[in-house]
């Protein structure tokens, strides 16, 4: 147990042979649900000064494109369990207004499948489409995939063509419902009930398009009473039909305990380990050669807006729901969570920051006004830009601390990613100390021709600092004190900081 009053030192070895796995770009995915102002007044606002002819905000699109999000989950979330996808296609003037029960709002259906896919393509992203297994089932799912992916010559593909979309969308990744073990879910099911309907839905969807990948619902979060028995039953029902198991988790600092808050990525780590073990158990029991990987398709910080949302008036169009205003300390936690996801790149192949705009999001908008970056935008953006390649697991020696819920928490949270194409080695690091900078020495093994490209740091003396429409208080800055000589990195990580250290290097001959 370290005393934070003593200057801290940490050492690590980054070895080219310490491979965790290859990063699937989809680990930097995100999520747009028909919830609050995510769609309406978020990505879509006809009449906004930056809006295009389809009503999509150009300023928001620019911020999304800068994140290089490769995959966006849509249209939910809890919303999907009561959604009739047919409501959102065809002439907008003919689309019905519906009471949306998951979030007690009114859904206008101005934006539906075709519009969202068009927007996602503008953003450079694929769509991770969810099907409704709450109020609906295999028949509606096979119709939707026929509409999206079948070339022509059938009822639903020809309907798509009649809407002006001749070429099929070719959507690759599909979610079989959402959080179906949650009593709050429309069409809530037991594990056996869900396992059966998910299996039958998977069968017909893959009969329509054998190239797709399917995500089966895991428990809604780790502390659910259903976990891990739910996963076992579901996977035993349809192991050969599923490609991924979904897991969800959100974190908060309701107790205003920064040391414990920063340690919560250890909970994510334990959750991933448990879910992976269940997948491998089901693989062994089914005597399969196939590996089911993980889709962490909802993760984020979420707690600021919980009390306010209880007071919102129901049955409005696009009410301001789940609009967490993120602080500097939230950005540090998001950084720790990203590092944890990368540490499990061998099994976490899809991950979706939930969500993308306005709703617990890195991007906020004002109706008719500006769009801006929240504090959490920066660690996610930097990881997406520089965290693609091969994950290397550093051998780290550093002091630890205990918090209310966790013991043996390392002050240094870190992972390295080597991108052979760009010739860069990037070290992501969070200093969890509330008192001391951390003097880091890192030895590079298996590399040569070293050069420090840059060291950026995200820090702020005010843990509660936020970014607003008019002022950005939390953003990365350059650190000029780091050195890289003869394969040895020397860096000083400020207390409570997110660090990105990029190095140009080549594998040793």
- What's the CATH code of the domain at 493? 2.60.40.1180
Neighbours of 316 (CB within 10 A): 13
Q: What is the dihedral of CA 352, 14, 267, 182, to 10 degrees?
A: 20
Question: Which residue stretches of the chain have pLDDT < 50?
Answer: 1-5
Residues 420 and 456 in one domain: yes
Instruction: Summarize pLDDT for 154-206 with one digit per residue, the tens.
Output: 999 999 999 999 999 999 999 999 999 999 999 999 999 999 999 999 999 99
Residues 317 and 374 in one domain: yes
Mean per-residue pLDDT over the chain, rounded: 96
Distance of CA 136 to the CA centre of its chain: 26
Residues 14 and 73 in one domain: no
Residues 420 and 348 in one domain: no
For residue 485, is it within any domain? yes
**pLDDT score of 434:** 96
Residues 228 and 375 in one domain: yes
For residue 403, is it within any domain? yes
Residues 285 and 429 in one domain: no
Which of 386, 406, 430 is the last residue before a domain boundary? Answer: 386
- At 484, which helix (H) or strand (E)? strand 483-485
Burial of residue 458 (number of CB atoms within 10 Å: 0-12, 13-18, 19+): buried
Contact 145, 212 (CB under 8 A): yes
For residue 108, is it within any domain? yes
Give CA–CA dist 265/255, Å, rounded: 16
- Residue 281 is classified by DSSP as H
229 is catalytic: no
134: left (phi over 0), alpha (psi -120 to 50) or beta: alpha
Contact 250, 298 (CB under 8 A): yes
Residues 373 and 412 in one domain: no
298 is catalytic: yes
Whole-Å CA distances, 485 to 15, 482, 500, 507: 16, 10, 18, 16
Range of the domain at 103: 24-386
For residue 3, is it within any domain? no
- Residue 7 is classified by DSSP as P
> Does the pTM of the predicted model rise above 0.75?
yes
Whole-Å CA distances, 287 to 198, 217, 453: 20, 22, 48
Neighbours of 362 (CB within 10 A): 27
- Residue 466 is classified by DSSP as B
For residue 39, is it within any domain? yes
Joined tokens for residue 21? 């796995």
Residues 145 and 173 in one domain: yes
CATH number of the domain enclosing 273: 3.20.20.80
Residues 395 and 350 in one domain: no
- The per-residue b/e assignment along 410-419, b for 16 or more CB within 10 angstroms, e otherwise, is bbbbbbbbbb
**pLDDT score of 507:** 87
Which of 355, 386, 417 is the last residue before a domain boundary? Answer: 386
Residues 373 and 442 in one domain: no
Residues 106 and 219 in one domain: yes
Catalytic-labelled residue, pool 107, 140, 146, 298: 298
Q: How many folded domains does the chain comprise?
A: 2
**pLDDT score of 7:** 67
Residue spans of alpha helices (H) in 55-110: 58-67
Residues 379 and 400 in one domain: no
Instruction: Summarize pLDDT for 284-319 with one digit per residue, the tens.
Output: 999 999 999 999 999 999 999 999 999 999 999 999
Contact 379, 71 (CB under 8 A): no
Which of 353, 369, 386 is the last residue before a domain boundary? Answer: 386
For residue 2, is it within any domain? no
Residues 6+ apart with CB under 8 A from 479: 455, 456, 457, 491, 492, 499
Nearest to 387 by CA among 332, 340, 441: 340
For residue 1, is it within any domain? no
- Coil, helix or strand for 458? strand
Catalytic-labelled residue, pool 86, 100, 115, 179: 179
């Amino acid at each position: 147990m370290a005393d934070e009053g003593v200057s801290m030192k940490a050492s690590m070895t980054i070895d080219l042979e310490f491979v965790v796995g290859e990063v699937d770009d989809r680990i930097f995915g995100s999520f747009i649900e028909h919830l609050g102002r995510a769609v309406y007044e978020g990505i879509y606002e006809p009449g906004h000064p930056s809006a295009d002819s389809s009503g999509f905000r150009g300023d928001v699109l620019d911020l999304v494109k800068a994140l290089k999000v490769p995959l966006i989950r849509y249209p939910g979330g809890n919303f999907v369990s009561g959604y009739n996808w047919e409501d959102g296609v065809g002439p907008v003037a003919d689309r019905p207004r519906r009471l949306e029960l998951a979030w007690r709002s009114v859904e206008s259906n101005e934006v539906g499948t075709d519009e969202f896919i068009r927007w996602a393509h503008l953003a450079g992203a694929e769509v991770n489409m969810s099907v409704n297994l709450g109020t609906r089932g295999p028949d509606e799912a096979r119709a939707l995939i026929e509409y999206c992916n079948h070339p022509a010559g059938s009822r639903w593909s020809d309907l798509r063509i009649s809407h002006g979309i001749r070429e099929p969308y070719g959507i690759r990744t599909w979610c079989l419902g959402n959080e179906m073990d949650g009593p709050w879910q429309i069409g809530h099911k037991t594990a056996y009930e869900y396992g059966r309907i998910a299996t039958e839905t998977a069968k017909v969807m893959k009969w329509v398009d054998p190239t797709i990948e399917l995500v089966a619902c895991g428990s809604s979060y780790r502390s659910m009473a259903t976990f891990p028995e739910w996963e076992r039953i579901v996977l035993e029902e349809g192991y050969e039909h599923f490609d991924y198991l979904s897991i969800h988790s959100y974190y908060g600092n309701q107790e205003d305990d920064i040391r414990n808050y920063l340690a919560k990525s250890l909970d994510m780590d334990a959750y991933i380990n448990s879910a992976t073990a269940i997948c491998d158990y089901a693989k062994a029991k089914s005597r399969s050669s196939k590996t089911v990987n993980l889709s962490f398709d909802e993760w984020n910080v979420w707690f600021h807006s919980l009390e306010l949302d209880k007071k919102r008036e129901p049955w409005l169009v696009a009410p301001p729901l789940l609009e967490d205003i993120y602080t500097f300390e939230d950005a540090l936690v998001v950084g720790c969570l990203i590092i944890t996801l990368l540490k499990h790149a061998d099994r976490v192949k899809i991950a979706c920051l939930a969500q993308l705009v306005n709703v617990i999001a890195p991007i906020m908008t004002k109706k008719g006004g500006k769009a801006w970056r929240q504090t959490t935008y920066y660690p996610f953006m930097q990881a997406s830009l520089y965290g693609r390649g091969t994950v290397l697991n550093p051998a780290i020696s550093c002091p630890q601390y205990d918090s209310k819920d966790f013991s043996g928490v390392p002050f240094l949270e870190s992972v390295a990613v080597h991108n052979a194409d760009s010739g860069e080695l990037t070290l992501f690091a969070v200093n969890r100390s509330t008192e001391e900078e951390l003097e880091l020495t890192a030895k590079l093994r298996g590399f040569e021709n070293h050069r420090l490209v840059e060291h950026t740091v995200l820090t702020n003396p005010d843990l509660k600092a936020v970014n607003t429409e008019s002022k950005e208080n939390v953003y990365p800055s350059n650190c000029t004190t780091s050195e890289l000589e003869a394969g040895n990195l020397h860096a000083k990580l400020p207390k409570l900081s997110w660090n990105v250290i990029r190095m140009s290097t080549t594998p040793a001959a």
